[in-house]
Structure 1
Amino acid sequence: MFKGMLRDKDAKGLAHTRSLTDSAAGNTRESVGAMGHAGGKSSTPALQSSSSDSEVADAEAFVQLVKARLKAHPYLSSLSELDLKRFLVANKGSSNHALKHVQAALDWRNAINYKSILNEDFSDLEATGKLTIESTDSQQNAVMIWQQSRHSPLPSSQRASSAAGTPATAPSTPKLSNRESKEAAQAAIDRNLRFFIYTILRAYQTHRLRTDNKLVVVIDRIGMTPANYDQPLGKAIIACMQFFPEQFEAYYVFPKNAVLMVAWKVTRVFLDPVTVARIKLLSEGEVKATLGAIIPKDELLVRYGGTKADVYDAVAPVPAVGSSENQGAADDDDDDQDDFVDADGTAEEMLDLGSVRDGKATPSLVTGNDSACSPTSPAPVA
């Protein structure tokens, strides 16, 4: 249903995390693992001709239902009509579930003071070049690149403290207590999550992301070390994705290695087929051909075989794909011959999200319960 409105069904799944993502008044029964339009103009493109009259009528009726039932919500204006229709698609045409889903998303936006994000200063995080949306693919979808080697999960104060001094030199800043360290780490997660949302909102301002296109996500693990790994942030980002359905077109993750493949083999069993088809794990040798087939050369970064310069290389250079400098995760082309490795960290990040398959919630394998994928529904809409 609604295939003519939006091309296909986005992934479902929900991570539970604390702080910002726990601040929503309630979560929808069916969560959606996709990122979508976070605001923008309330313009609705014409539906494709393949949509049946009844589908179009149902979608329009749902928009009017939301406007009538939630008209007093201070954040209703932050969702366009197309956004509202995406909630209906994400909930398989169930207006009741979709309405609860919309209310949960609006409550979450209100709780995190969503409207202030574009006015916040993230210049220090922007300067790292770790998260960018500066290109479009051949279908005019916006391309988001997460350069993991440029990310540090530690707050700047803790990085300075850990880098300062030697055994013979006192640190320049006092050592934080355990409680202070935890609070600082959580503050860093929250700020990076807001930066993630900010980056998407800025893409709407620059028109790389629009109401009628989607996001293609490139997760570049080349050059990363254990110091760049940030499982809590990953969970926080995925937890908030449920509030922005039907926007991610595809995910490209590279380079794959034994750890990643073990985690993926376990996780994919619990994902719906559409989600599995959208996630592409690439060997380093596959990157240039794969990205080159979907992104025009003048929009593709030089390190991926294109001609577009990465201005952030001057600050934090990243080795080109296939470069002898790459000493990161080794390629793992033979998926059927993997020896078992300790992939607990990677698998936990993927499995703790829970999932929805064939309309049924799958319990989190890590938490041992289904709270991750079947959260309490929002209070009934008056």
Structure 2
Amino acid sequence: MASTEPETQLEAQASVPPVTAPAELLADATFSASLAISFGTQDNYEAFRSRVRTDDKLISLGSAKLSDWWLVKFFDGARGNGELAYKMLEKTMQWRIEYKWDSLATEDFTADELTGKLYYHNFAKDGTPVLIWRIARHKADPKLVEHTVRFIVYTMVKGIRDGTVASRLTLLVDRLGSTNDNVEGIAFFRSLTSVLQTHFPEMLQRIIIFPTNWLLWTVWKVVKPFLDMTVVEKVSLVGPKEYKQTLQDAIALEFLSQRYGGNSIDWTDKGAVAATLPDDEEEDDGSTEEGAVAKMHERDSAVSVSAVSLQGLSLQEKKDGEIKKVPKSSTWGVGGFRKMSSFKKDFFQSKEK
């Protein structure tokens, strides 16, 4: 039987756009696509726009490179409040200097792109481009957190500059086949969410994370407090029995990868179809609950973050000498927040009760 896998990594890479953007795309000001405001009034937006174009402080920070497209994004992100939009934009312009934003377009992320772990694939029913993050193809490394975040930023910026992203995007976080070695720790999620919600306002149409398991819900409860509610409302965590239907509701079958039950051939799979998960089982990494929590705690031991109390999180409890499963609805509710130092303690105390 002929293999459906790419013969070589370079062969798979053949369908990927060049790493280096054309010179005319290096400055955001050349991105000329028009974008209408979604919040506030046109008069207030014009006042904000005029201020940005004439303000000496913003000009000194490089605002002349910004296209009106970005101004609309920040105005909408501030829900039509011009003063707030100004402050948000000022913060981002300062960040861009420190982040070396202008060098993103010429940096070489070939090694990351060759993995096929992050790429655009067709469009959702609402017209937003679909960006897929394949976790099983990513090797988590605490030492490379900022590099990984920068690669994601690079991919989003490239999509904006080449016109793939006209306004917003749909993000699929695909956990199929992933293990603990593929999953980043809390430091990564804090860094990424901070960058996206602060410096890419109104960019995400929806985020679909699938398939879920108990550890993912734990991480979600840790990360959720750091997110703006406008971002939280766009996140859907979907179980192994429901994720294909959820994806098919968002993306037409002709544009949905065969991997997810659609008819589109994904260049990173060359038509390979993922194995269907058993209906009565939830995809997991095979690790014990204690081991997974300990590993996550160890990975982030140097990071000062808040974590959820895992009181009652145990998926099993003893009753009359037997072990029975606790309904997910009673274990996945948001609990009180505590320091990461008491993360494992709470978990194992709940296991002993």
Deviation at 1:76, TM superposition (A): 1.4
From 23, 33, 41, the equivalent of 2:31 is: 41
Q: CA deviation at 1:262?
A: 4.2
Q: What's 2:199 paired with?
A: 243
Alpha-carbon deviations, 1:214-267, whole Å to 9, x = none?
111111111111111112333222221111111111110111112223454676
Secondary structure of the 1:251 match is strand
Choose the corresponding residue for 2:97, options 101, 110, 114: 110
Secondary structure in structure 2 of the residue aligned to 1:219: strand
Among all aligned residue pairs of Structure 1 and Structure 2, give the percentage whose two residues are the same amino acid: 25
The alignment partner of 1:280 has SS state of strand
Equivalent of residue 136 in structure 1, options 105, 120, 123: 123
CA gap 1:40/1:280 in 2 versus in 1, 3 angstroms: farther
> How far off its partner does 1:327 sit?
8.1
Q: Is the 8 A contact 2:258 2:273 kept in 1?
A: no
Shift of 1:190: 2.7
Cα distance between partner residues in 2 of 1:147 and 1:329: 15
- The counterpart of 1:298, out of the listed 222, 246, 254, is 254
In the alignment, the residues of structure 2 paired with residue 191 and residue 271 of structure 1 have an alpha-carbon distance, to the nearest angstrom, of 21
Counterpart in the other structure of 1:60: 46
2:22 paired residue number: none
Instruction: State the partner residue of 2:137.
Output: 150
| 1:287 has 2:243 as partner | yes
The 1:364/1:143 distance shift into structure 2, 3 A limit, reads farther
Distance 1:266 1:225, change over 3 A: closer
Aligned equivalent of 1:233:
188
Which structure carries more relative contact order (alpha carbon 8 Å, separation 6+)? 1
More helix as a share of residues: 2
SS at match of 2:87: helix
For structure 2, which runs of at least 5 residues remain unmatched after alignment?
1-27, 309-335, 342-353
Report the secondary structure of 1:249's partner residue: strand
Matched with 2:88 is 101
CA distance in 2, matches of 1:262, 1:193: 21
Cα deviation digits, residues 121-155 of structure 1 (max 9, x gap)? 1111101011111221111101111111110124x
Contact preservation (8 Å) 1:134, 1:144: yes
Q: How many Å separate the matches in 2 of 1:257 and 1:78? A: 44
Question: CA offset at residue 65 of structure 1?
Answer: 0.9
Q: Within 5 Å, give how 1:1-382 maps onto structure 2.
A: 41-47=31-37, 55-69=41-55, 70=57, 72-73=59-60, 75-154=62-141, 186=143, 188-210=144-166, 213-231=167-185, 232-241=187-196, 242-264=198-220, 274-313=230-269, 319-322=274-277, 328-329=283-284, 345=296, 352=306, 366=339
Aligned counterpart, 1:159: none
Alignment partner of 1:291: what SS? helix
Give the secondary-structure state (helix, strand or coil) at the position aligned to 2:172: strand
TM-score (norm 2): 0.66
Please tell me whether the aligned partners of residues 143 and 217 of structure 1 are also in contact (alpha carbons under 8 angstroms).
yes
Report if aligned partners of 1:303, 1:321 keep a CA contact under 8 Å in 2. no
In the TM superposition, what is the alpha-carbon distance from 1:278 to its structure 2 partner?
1.4
Q: CA deviation at 1:201?
A: 2.3
Give structure 1 stretches of 5+ with no counterpart. 1-37, 155-184, 331-338, 355-362, 369-382
In 2, Cα distance between equivalents of 1:113 and 1:274: 28
How many residue pairs end up in the alignment?
277
- TM-score by structure 1 length? 0.62
Give 3-state SS (helix, strand or coil) of 2:189's partner: helix
**1:200 and 1:276, CA in 2 relative to 1: closer, same or farther beyond 3 A?**
closer
- 1:272 and 1:204 map into 2 onto residues whose CA distance is 23
Between the aligned partners of 2:252 and 2:219, the Cα distance in structure 1 is 32
- How far off its partner does 1:106 sit? 0.9
**How many angstroms does 1:292 deviate by?**
0.9
Q: Does the residue aligned with 2:199 lie in a helix, a strand or coil?
A: coil
Distance 2:291 2:228 in 1: 25
Residue type at the aligned position of 2:123: T
Over aligned residue pairs, what C-alpha RMSD do you find? 3.9
Aligned to 2:4: none
CA distance in 2, matches of 1:251, 1:240: 16
The Cα of 1:297 is off from its aligned counterpart by: 1.8
Q: Note if contact 1:137-1:294 (Cα within 8 Å) is conserved in structure 2.
A: yes
Does structure 2 retain, via aligned residues, the 8 Å contact 1:143–1:215?
yes
Write the distance in 2 (CA, Å) between the matches of 1:112 and 1:313: 34
Q: For the residues of structure 2 that align with 1:353 and 1:206, how far apart are their CA atoms?
A: 39
Conservation of the 8 A alpha-carbon contact between 1:131 and 1:145: yes
Q: What are the Cα deviations for residues 174-208 of structure 1, in whole angstroms up to 9, with x where unaligned?
A: xxxxxxxxxxx54x223222211221122234432
- Evaluate the alpha carbon distance shift between residue 146 and residue 63 of structure 1 in structure 2; reply closer, same or farther with a 3 A threshold: same
* Aligned partners of 1:44 and 1:80 also within 8 Å: no
